């Protein structure tokens, strides 16, 4: 789960990382109120979960309350790389002498945590990383030992931070490691980590990504979810503990196992190239290796709730999940929807192979469900699902 800047800074403050006073606003009038309360020049910052806000005009100074109100009016509703600013952070302005970069993240390729630090922070950090990689220090972090004060001092010195800010920077680095560790984050990034003329270090920005797999031990994180902008189908799937991602196609996809589902997406996209409109996958849905009939029914219900879906491809290789359980799930889903007065009107192409495949096919044959077709091979089933989606478009 990605956080907005104001949420990231609230976590920073809770762990003792210095941040500037400020508050989020959702209307121009609220922005004026916050600026009035702060009583100093402010910066109005679009709250979107993407980078490049400054270059896009989403971060602007405001010398007083009236200016803050007008600036918020300009920024609210702004589209920044496909993200609409529905709120702004109104924060006290701060003159800084230097801007640095710091990030802790999970390196999946190396299977470890890493810390990155540079004395060349600010809006052009991506260019620095690309053209002067030596200016960006990157080190592995032992997950047990973590980052201590001495480690942080060495990191800051190696990155080229000025001698006079090594100590306060090291303290901030240690505290940011605590944010990363204690909050079960996969990313904690501060750009810039700024130095002031009086020797302080302040996190002027903040990006945090929390590990959803650790949600069971972080109950407070639920309050950070942005439910207003969450896709309603993804929210409904999450409520049913389904591994679902909405895509922009017209062929609904259900499979068991992430690898099989990914392959199915590719096969359907390839098959769709030969039909009008080039039908593509409408979703990723993995019902898992031990899915029950109830899980299958829930998954089918979610996919059929997507109005863009014109056909559904159920692709199952029976292992732990036996094909008869999948077939029973399809039958159960049809009955459930019919009880709600929502008759299934879109065709389903089903390919069953593996454990109890013959029994699963027999269950579906006997059920004689309207619109359900059994196809033997994955390629043929993908082609048929794409064809049906093209016809129904």
Which residues are the active-site residues? 101, 189
Pick left, alpha or beta for residue 375 (phi over 0 → left; psi -120 to 50 → alpha; otherwise beta).
beta
For the chain, the helix, strand and coil percentages under 3-state DSSP, each to the nearest 5: 40, 25, 35
Q: Enumerate residues 6+ apart whose C-beta is below 8 A from 93.
A: 40, 41, 42, 43, 61
Residue 370 and residue 341: Cα distance in Å, rounded?
15
Secondary structure of residue 341 in the 3-state scheme:
coil
The conformation of residue 222, written as its DSSP 8-state character, comes to: G
Q: Using alpha carbons only, what angle is made at residue 154 by residues 150 and 155, rounded to the nearest 5 degrees?
A: 115
Residue reference for tokens 């993995």: 286
Token pair listed for 49:
């979960």
DSSP string, 174-234: HHHHHHHHHTTEEEEEEEEEEE-TTS-EEE---EEEE-GGGGGG-GGGGGG--GGGS-HHH
Rounded to 5 degrees, what are φ and ψ at 340? -90, 0
- Alpha helix locations (H) across the chain? 5-14, 28-38, 65-75, 125-131, 149-158, 166-182, 232-239, 258-272, 293-304, 323-339, 357-367, 378-392
Token pair listed for 111:
């299977």
Question: 192 preceded by cis ω (within 30°)?
Answer: yes
Pick left, alpha or beta for residue 354 (phi over 0 → left; psi -120 to 50 → alpha; otherwise beta).
left
């Amino acid at each position: 789960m990605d956080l907005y800047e104001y949420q990231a800074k609230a976590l920073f403050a809770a762990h003792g990382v210095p941040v500037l006073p400020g508050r989020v606003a959702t209307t121009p009038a609220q922005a004026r109120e916050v600026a009035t309360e702060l009583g100093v020049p402010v910066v109005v910052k679009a709250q979107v979960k993407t980078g490049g806000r400054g270059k896009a005009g989403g971060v602007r100074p405001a010398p007083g309350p009236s200016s803050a109100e007008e600036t918020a009016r300009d920024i609210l509703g702004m589209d920044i790389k496909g993200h609409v600013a529905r709120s702004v952070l109104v924060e006290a302005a701060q003159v800084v002498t230097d801007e640095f970069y710091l990030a802790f993240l999970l390196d999946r390729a190396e299977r470890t945590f890493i810390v990155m630090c540079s004395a060349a922070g600010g809006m052009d950090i991506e260019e620095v990383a690309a053209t002067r990689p030596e200016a960006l220090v990157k080190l592995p972090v032992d997950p047990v030992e973590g980052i201590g004060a001495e480690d942080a001092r060495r990191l800051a010195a190696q990155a080229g931070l000025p001698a006079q800010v090594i100590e306060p920077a090291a303290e901030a680095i240690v505290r940011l490691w605590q944010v990363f560790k204690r909050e079960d984050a996969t990313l904690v990034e501060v750009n810039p980590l700024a130095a002031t003329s009086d020797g302080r270090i302040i996190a002027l920005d903040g990006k945090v990504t929390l590990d959803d797999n650790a949600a069971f031990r972080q109950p407070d994180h639920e309050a950070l979810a942005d439910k207003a902008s969450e896709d309603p189908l993804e929210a409904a799937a999450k409520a049913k503990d389904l591994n679902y991602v909405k895509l922009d196609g017209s062929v609904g996809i259900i499979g068991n196992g992430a690898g099989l589902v990914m392959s199915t997406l590719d096969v359907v996209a390839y098959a769709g190239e030969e039909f009008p409109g080039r039908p593509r996958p409408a979703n990723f849905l993995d019902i898992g290796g031990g899915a029950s009939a109830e899980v299958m029914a829930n998954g089918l219900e979610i996919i059929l709730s997507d109005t863009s879906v014109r056909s559904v491809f159920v692709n199952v290789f029976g292992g732990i999940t036996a094909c008869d359980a999948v077939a029973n799930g399809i039958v159960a889903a049809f009955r459930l929807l019919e009880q709600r007065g929502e008759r299934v009107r879109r065709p389903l192409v089903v390919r069953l192979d593996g454990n109890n495949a013959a029994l699963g096919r027999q269950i579906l044959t006997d059920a004689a469900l309207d619109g359900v077709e059994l196809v033997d091979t994955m390629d043929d089933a993908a082609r048929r699902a794409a064809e049906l989606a093209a016809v129904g478009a």
